[in-house]
Structure 1
């Protein structure tokens, strides 16, 4: 799947098949299905990309203290741009253009 295909899939009613757990969580997060994305993030704690996802999700939720904790665990600075831009950056780490 390409980045464009992934973006296009956001309008589908069902999760596309064959996505990694990280991309599944990002798919849900991109559709504001926070609880589904968070459940996946919690299953993969201690993996830097999932910790970044976890930080993003808490930022999306408005819980900045918790987000700061997860950014630190991910070894990242708190993201400076919009939520959408951060989500796009995470997706781009996983898919070809």
Structure 2
């Protein structure tokens, strides 16, 4: 993927690109509206990048306590952004 628009355009596809990281696959599935599959991509991983995406997913779910736990694991604080803005920032961060 070259840029955010190309990533967004790929949401028309049936499946994410095989070359995407677990974090980007999670964000891809989330972009398709498939929260459960998005969560499965990072739920079992223990690195800070996965924790960051995991936090976002729980924030989106509305489970703020759990989201804040994962933001802490990612050494981040919950952003004061819309979910769409955070999603875009995460995609750009992990590209």
| Pairing 1:22–2:23 present | yes
Distance apart, 1:15 and its partner CA? 1.9
Counterparts of 1:14 and 1:73, CA distance in 2: 29
TM-score of the superposed pair, with normalisation by structure 2: 0.91
Aligned to 2:35: 34
Gaps of at least 5 residues in structure 2 are none
TM-score of the superposed pair, with normalisation by structure 1: 0.89
Counterparts of 2:18 and 2:48, CA distance in 1: 24
SS of 1:15's equivalent in the other structure is coil
Q: CA RMSD in A?
A: 1.1
Aligned pairs (5 A) from 1:59-74: 59-74=59-74
Gaps of at least 5 residues in structure 1 are none
Q: Which runs of 4+ in 1 moved over 6 A?
A: none
| CA distances 1:13-55 after superposition (whole Å, capped 9, x unpaired) | 222232121111110111221111111111212x111101111
Aligned to 1:77: 77
